[in-house]
Amino acid sequence: DIVLTQSPLSLPVSPGEPASISCRSNQNLRHSNAQEYLHWYLQKPGQSPQLLIYLGSHRASGVPDRFSGSGTGTHFTLKINRMEAEDVGVYYCMQSLDSITFGQGTRLDIK
């Protein structure tokens, strides 16, 4: 089974400051087609999850450009270059290379 480990589990960030969340996999998520099968979601309080980043680094439609995804193989990072109040919530990484698994989530809130 592919296990995704996120860190930190909780992250208070001041408005306007950057934030970074790590997602590590116990297996390589790079497909033979050269795509990284790692995706990021945000679940705002009381809401359903929403897609932020797919295939490692592709921003979903309507996602602000302050969000970016990077990484390859077993280590991936989600970055917010300037934290805003509306970014509060729980962030999940998910892999779809072998079955589908989610990380345990990282709670981001305003400091």
Binding residues for another protein (CB under 8 A): 1, 35, 37, 39, 41, 43, 48-51, 54-55, 60, 92, 94, 96, 99-105
Residue 44's identity, in one-letter code, is K
Instruction: Identify which of residues 43 and 77 has a Cβ nearer to another protein in the complex.
Output: 43
Instruction: Identify which of residues 16 and 45 has a Cβ nearer to another protein in the complex.
Output: 45
Instruction: Identify which of residues 102 and 109 has a Cβ nearer to another protein in the complex.
Output: 102
Minimum CB–partner distance for residue 111 and another protein (Å): 23
Minimum CB–partner distance for residue 100 and another protein (Å): 4
* Contacts made by residues 14-18, CB under 8 angstroms, sequence distance 24+: 14/83, 14/110, 14/111, 15/83, 15/84, 15/85, 15/110, 16/82, 16/83, 17/82, 17/83, 17/111, 18/79, 18/80, 18/81, 18/82, 18/83
Minimum CB–partner distance for residue 96 and another protein (Å): 4
Minimum CB–partner distance for residue 82 and another protein (Å): 25
Instruction: Identify which of residues 99 and 111 has a Cβ nearer to another protein in the complex.
Output: 99
**What does the DSSP 8-state code read for residue 97?**
S
State both tokens at 29.
Answer: 């998520």
